Every structure is written in structure tokens, then in C-alpha cells.
Amino acid sequence: MNSSAGIGSLAIDLKLGGTMRIGSTAFPVSDLIVMLDAIQQTGSIKGFAETLGMSYRAAWNRLQTYEAAIGQPLVRKTQGQGSELTEFGTTLADAFESAVAGLDASLERETRAIAYRLRRLLTGRVGALALAASHDPLLIALLHDLPSEHGEIEMSVMGSSAAVRLLLAGGADVAGFHCGALSPDQAEAPFSGVNEKAGLVAHLVFEREQGLLLAPGNPLGIRTLGDLTKKGVRYVNRQPGSGTRLWFDRMLAEAGLSPARIHGYEVEEFTHQAVAAMIACGAGDVGLGARAAAERLGLDFLSVGWEAYYLASSRSLAAPVFDAFMALARARAAGMSGYRLPGSDGVQI
């Protein structure tokens, strides 16, 4: 595969194998990239020579060959200060750096695709859509209601961080996740890795209300995060890496509260429903979770805010079952307590 371009009288032919032809002169692209980078880093032709393991004379001759082929000076020598790239040389180096970054992103996308296809072939599960998702009561219920004619979805429940990492590694078709009050580009890794450069798109499926799940009647009178530090209050946490745990930790930091002051901070459950069950049976007093989980078990609920729930996938994913799943999720969210469609509060997210 070749890519060719004409710039004035300068004809450039770049082959996928790494050969660059300028006019009648052909040379490895990697050599030119290394030369420009070495001169930028070391400020000398000698540094370029040592980087490629050649003599100073050989390095100088190679530089002159490139400059003659391109028809522009790449390096200027400064009295007493060594050598530096010319404006043209710097621009060329920057262009190569951008091109390499683009190739790295493309290779990463293709590596994920290959890893995923191999996994599907080796496990024999070619037809099912692999969904790795943070726990959500609405999505769990959908798996039982999705019409079979659309296809099959295999859902693995895990923390938001783990789900996104699995998608990035090519181990899943789709990742379901949330970042609390932040969007993916505002959040830390791995969520920030879900972007167009990586060939991924985050579909905002619905918003859900999160808050403190409390025993019926709120007998301990919990009204704020500060109340979690009161003597006798037992907190039920989510596991590290879950979107809910990350949001809780951010709220503690913003309130200036140390996790060490919260009794039960180290008690971890893996779903909203499990946290609600611990409180309902009297094994805990409070935990952060979805309103839907509180209402299902008759708990009191103190809202802390709304968050977006995303389903991220490759931009090129074409799967009718995925489209049907998202459509059904949005339809349910429109009429279910504790959920709403994006923008339904008058603010488009």
C-alpha cells in the first residue's frame, strides 16, 4: 500500500513498509525520523552519529544526502552551540511525530480488534455480543426482555474501570460505565481513553439518580456526608474501580473528609443491589447507590445527584442487537423512577 503526494516540484512516495522516496532518492523513513529526533535531543551531528552507531563522517554524508533530495536545509550549525534543526527541519520532525502518533492509535485499534476476534473464535462464541458493564438494575432487567430475534448479548458485571479496560484490551464489544458527575473526557484513565482517536464512541444511554441508601425512616438522621463520620454509623462501600466508589471518593475529597473517619469504608459489595440488601437486613446503615435499588427494597433515599451511564463501543460496530438494546434501555429509562433521558431536565449533556 502506497501513499503518494506532489508538493510543487517535490514528489513524495511513502510505502507502508517504511521506505520514503523523494524524487529519485529512496531511504528508510525510520532513519530520517531518528536523525531529526537525535539532533533535536542532542543538539549535534555527533549525537546523531552515536545514536545510529556510525562515524561522524558517515552521519554528515547521510544528512547531506537527505538535504539534497529534499532541496531544503534541515540542520544549521551555530558557532559554539552545536547544531539545531532549521524551521523546515523542525516542521518536518513535527509532521513525522504526528504521523507516528496516528499510526500508533490505528495499530492499537487493530490490535484490539484482532484480540477480540481471536477470543471469539477460540471460545466458539461468534454470534453473541460481549458486554462488560458496571452494575445497573435497569440493564440487568433488560437482558431478560430483549427479543431473541435481535441476537444474543453476553453480559459480565464488573466495575466501570474494569469494563472500560476490557474494551480497550479487545476483550469485549461494549463497555457499560459511568463516571459520577464527570464526562469521560473529564475523568481519569481508563475512561479518558474512550475517545475518537482510539476509534471508540461513548453512547450516552440514560441518566440515573444516585444517593445515600438508608434504613427505612432514616433512624440515624443522616443528612450529609459529614454525618457518615458519626459514632455508630456503618457504611457499606462499593469495590475499588467501580464508578460509584470513584464518585464517593471524589465527594469525600471535596468535603475534606478522610476515608479513615468512616466506619465500614473497607466493607465492599459489588452491586447496587448488594449494598441495598446489606442495609435492608440491618448489616449496614448507609451506602451510595442508585435510587432504583433503594426503592426495590423499601429503603429511604437521599439524592446526591444525577449521572450519565454510557455504553462504549468501536465506532465501526454494526450489531442490530446493540441498537435494539440501547433503544429498549432508553424507552425504559423514560418511564422508570430514578432514571431519565439525557436532557430531559432541560439541560442537554
pTM of the entire predicted model? 0.63
> Has residue 149 got a pLDDT over 60?
yes
> What does the pLDDT look like over 305-347, one tens digit per residue?
999 999 999 988 888 899 999 999 999 999 999 999 987 653 3
Averaged pLDDT for residues 108-116: 56
Q: What domains are there in the chain, each with its CATH number?
A: 2-105 (1.10.10.10), 127-340 (3.40.190.290)
Provide the pLDDT confidence category of residue 146 given band limits of 50, 70 and 90: confident
Distances (CA, A) of 244 to 13, 42, 138, 312: 52, 48, 16, 18
Residue 4: per-residue pLDDT: 41
Amino acid at residue number 317: L
Query: What count of residues does the chain have?
Result: 349
Averaged pLDDT for residues 71-82: 79
Question: When comparing pLDDT for 161 and 41, which is higher?
Answer: 161
> What does the pLDDT look like over 2-58, one tens digit per residue?
444 433 334 444 444 456 666 666 667 677 777 888 888 888 888 878 877 788 888
Q: How far apart are CA 93 and CA 98, in angstroms?
A: 9
Question: When comparing pLDDT for 271 and 39, which is higher?
Answer: 271
> What does the pLDDT look like over 171-190, one tens digit per residue?
889 999 999 888 999 998 99
> Has residue 117 got a pLDDT over 70?
no
Averaged pLDDT for residues 229-238: 96
> What does the pLDDT look like over 210-231, one tens digit per residue?
999 999 999 999 999 999 999 9
Residue 348: per-residue pLDDT: 31
Range of 105-119, 156-170, 244-258 with top mean pLDDT: 244-258
> Has residue 1 got a pLDDT over 70?
no
Amino acid at residue number 160: S
Distances (CA, A) of 265 to 194, 246, 269, 290, 335: 30, 13, 11, 18, 34
Q: Please provide residue 345's backbone torsions phi and psi, each rounded to the nearest 5 degrees.
A: -95, 5
The sign of the dihedral angle between the CA atoms of 39, 44, 48, 50 is: negative
pLDDT, mean over the chain: 83
Residue 52: per-residue pLDDT: 72
